[in-house]
Amino acid sequence: MYYGYRCYNREGKPEGWLYTARSEQELNPTKNLDYFSWCKRWKTKRGAEKNFDYYNQRWHHQTDGGYLKIEEMPELESHQFKDYRETKKRWDEQNADKVRESKAKYDAENPVWSIRFKDEDVLQWLNEERWDDESNQDLVMRKLRKLMTLEYKEGF
């Protein structure tokens, strides 16, 4: 059981339950049960009372005289609150080919560089060129920057 803000217009007719959009900048009523998971709701009446004045004032201003009431919300089906990971996992299993295509596209656009030197001469040269306390990554990046500046100067 949850408590929520029931929206009323200035004539006292219920318009639905309050939900917010756009980072709580926009207040909207809904009667659609599918959107109840988006509605402002609290497990206790005391929790709902904490922010009631703030939302009631905003709703009153937005609707030119409307008001909110704290009421018990209708029971929601438990499937609306399932863990999103279960839904994602099920979708991934059903659309394995799309997942593979998406992963391949991402990997093509964001390649992972891995450098493994097999030539001992190259390793020896890199160790000679290495500064004190310089990691492999720092060394390779420094050499690549030097190569880039040479290419820029030479016009390759």
Amino acid identity, position 51: N
Phi, psi torsion values for 58, nearest 5 degrees: -65, -40
Query: Tokens in use for 98?
Result: 């799309």
Residues in the chain: 156
pLDDT at 91: 87
Is residue 8 located within the same domain as residue 57? yes
Up-side HSE of residue 62: CA atoms within 13 Å toward CB? Answer: 17
In this predicted structure, what is the pLDDT of residue 102? 93
Residue ranges in the chain modelled with pLDDT below 70: 76-83, 117, 156
The confidence score (pLDDT) of residue 49 equals 94
Whether 115 is covered by a domain: the verdict is no
What is the predicted pLDDT for the residue at 78?
57
Instruction: Tokens 């926009």: give the residue.
Output: 26
Examine the domain organization and report whether 8 and 51 are in the same domain: yes
Specify the pLDDT at position 104: 92
In three-state secondary structure terms, 121 is helix
Same domain, 24 and 52: yes
60 and 19 housed in the same domain: yes
Total domains in the fold of the chain: 3
Record the pTM: 0.48
Q: According to the model, what pLDDT value does residue 112 have?
A: 81
pLDDT at 80: 54
pLDDT, position 82: 60
What whole-number distance in Å separates Cα of residue 34 and Cα of residue 38? 9
- Structural domain of 22: 3-77
Q: In whole angstroms, give the CA distance from residue 126 to residue 116.
A: 12
